[in-house]
Amino acid sequence: MVIMPVIGLLLTFAAAVVQQIRLGLHPTYFNHNATYHLMQAVGIWFIFVGVKHLVRFEGENANA
């Protein structure tokens, strides 16, 4: 599960690149800013889930 936080960080940085180059899915309804926030939300979710699993895994190893 170590890979999930890394994917989240990479996705968050990719979202910043998407916003800077102004790449959007639709010029009116889903512009570059909305695309950035969607990608960032998914990236932060990956970070949260990955770290949650890492902390639980480390806690289980500490008790053994």
CB 18 within 8 A of CB 63: no
CB 44 within 8 A of CB 16: no
Q: Among all chains, which residue has been given the structure tokens 């102004």? A: 22
- What would the pLDDT profile of 40-55 be if each residue is shown by its tens digit? 999 999 999 999 988 8
pLDDT at 53: 86
Mean pLDDT estimate for the chain = 90
CB 48 within 8 A of CB 1: no
Burial of 15 (0-12, 13-18, 19+ CB in 10 A): buried
0.85 exceeded by pTM: no
The residues spanned by each domain of the chain are 3-59
CB 5 within 8 A of CB 54: yes
